[in-house]
Amino acid sequence: MTPPVPPTGQAFAATDNNDHLVQSVNPDHPANLIPSLCAKFWKLGWVTGTGGGASIREDDLVYLAPSGVQKELMKPSDIYVLSMAAQAKSLDRRTRVYLRSPAQYKPSQCTPLFMAAFTKRGAGCCIHTHSHWAVLVTLILETQGAGNDREFQINNIEQIKGFGRGFEKSGNLGYHDTLRIPVIENTAHEEDLTEFLEEAMDKYPDTYAVLVRRHGVYVWGENVHKAKTQCESLDYLFQLAVEMKRLGLPWITEIEPVKPTRA
């Protein structure tokens, strides 16, 4: 277990595991919210067999589910807590500085990917699912051949309005806008996806999600509400896209906007 490191300007005994960071009666406290969100995601088939997960950032503190835990049975005491500031000072990106670690677990391999959403996009929450629909969309794209398999696009569907316009932009996408989600290739170890996820964020500065081929999707938002809404909207669109493909319907269409006739 990584020994706890005191946050800047604070000191505590070496034996203190900072358990208070995950103890709260508030249901909206991240240590309570992550288990309740993961239980919901498990029911949707998004985090089956311990895969996938969610992380929440509140100011400097990042709350994370451990590796290999049954997502529907997770407890607040299972949650890791990491300091962004202490982490930024660490020279080795792969060595993470936890303020609080549950003794019986290992940190999640998703941690550096969640951190990318927090550091590069200022996100407040990041969700990772192994949704069937996300995986199927990447498989459908794969059949389109190299060069046409790195981006999912869809337009003229009402649910697109569930997405923000982009990083530091106000408002949401409109019905006629095209939603574009980059696709990165899967790697043998989840942690090794980080550099490719960051590359995709640089290439698509306004995206709130990155698909991982034959694996799933990472979705983030300014806060839990936005990350969850975008993740649900995206899963709806992925399912729709798979069914559309089955029916031979195109994902991109030209539709003339209907103008209101009444003043």
Residues assigned a catalytic role: 158
The strand pair at 209-212 and 178-184 is best described as parallel
- Which residues make up each annotated binding site for Zn(2+)? 128, 130, 215
Q: Are 232 and 158 in contact (CB under 8 A)?
A: no
DSSP state of 209: E
Residue 112 and residue 92: Cα distance in Å, rounded? 12
Residue 97 CB partners (closer than 8 Å, separation 6+)? 2, 5, 82, 83, 86, 87, 89, 90
- Which residues make up each annotated binding site for substrate? 110
Residue 38 CB partners (closer than 8 Å, separation 6+)? 47, 53, 54, 65, 71, 72, 74
Q: Is the dihedral of CA 188, 245, 46, 33 positive or negative?
A: positive
- Which residues make up each annotated binding site? 110, 128, 130, 215
